[in-house]
Amino acid sequence: MSSLDLIRLFLAVADHRSFTHTARRLNISPTAVSKGVRALESKHGVTLFTRTTRSVSLTDAGASLLAVLKPAVNQIEDAFAELAQFQQRPAGRLRVTAPRTLGYLVAQVLVPRMHASHPEINFDLSLDNGLVDLVAAGYDAGIRLGQSVAQDMVAIRLSRLLPWSIVAAPGYIAQHGAPELPRDLLRHRTVRYRFTTSSILPPWRFVDGDGEFLLDPEAVMSANDTGVIAEVARQGLGLAYLPDIEIETDIRSGRLLRLLAPYVPPTSGLYLYFPVRSQNQPKMRALIDAASQLADEGLLDVSFSA
């Protein structure tokens, strides 16, 4: 028997004061009970019970051990009872990764909704534009554009398609002119996004009458943060390819001008994604339900009109 089995056996004998009754309760033989008690006594070099043909009673050593073990075991049972409640109610820390640009949506809409309905969930939000391996990084879930979600993840759509734009500062256009066709970008200065982990510059995506095509214009600067790219574009260093949510106020104020709009397709919408085995956790079910409800209400849609 393990140490825990011997403790369980000792407490049962102390409670019933009978090897026979203890054996019946634990569904083992009286001989196994006797051997277990002897093993416990031999291991610690003390006699715990006084046995006669008609009764079993605790020795002083046994009574002292019982006084310590019984409350300790009760605490252990209470701890496991508390743990079992996690199977029923959403609680604990929920680690979620989201892009920096779109993270405000999570903080502004999803987190308050979750806190109101499930106050025992602690939200741990990490903003990172790079691709994240949820399992390796210890996240419960992520929010990314659909094309960035790994195929082995469960993905739930949160928003409509997201609009993007080619933009430049008026000063840049005044100095270098505006491209009329996407391929004209190959003769312009650009500021490009760079993936954090791989350092790859993702190509710019366009559509025309012949379908979709990609361009890889020369970058005078690259950065792994769309906010930095937007700021550099405002300064007139070059053209940038950015999500409209990042540059909405710039377009409205005229600090940035939208270019080649008919050729720039929207990207897939936002998705909540997570490993398949985690979706039955109460905290994850709460997140999925809250995010799905917000998506149905359209509160996670990112729209822009100039």
* 251 CB-near residues (< 8 Å, 6+ apart): 165, 167, 244, 257, 258, 304, 306
Name, of 21-35, 204-218, 266-280, the range with top average pLDDT: 204-218
Which option is the CATH number for 3-86: 1.10.10.10, 3.10.300.10, 3.30.70.3270, 3.30.2010.10? Answer: 1.10.10.10
CATH 3.40.190.10 for domain 92-161+269-296:
yes
Residue count of the chain, please give it: 306
- Evaluate if pTM is beyond 0.85: no
Write down the pLDDT at residue 274.
93
pLDDT 10s digits, 40-80? 999 899 999 998 877 889 999 999 998 888 888 878 877 77
Distance CA 204, CA 27 (A): 70
Backbone angles phi, psi at 83, to 5 degrees: -60, -40
CATH 3.40.190.290 range(s) for the chain read: 164-263
Do strands 92-98 and 121-127 pair parallel, antiparallel, or not at all (unpaired)?
parallel
164-263: which CATH architecture? 3-Layer(aba) Sandwich (3.40)
Q: What is the pLDDT of residue 305?
A: 38
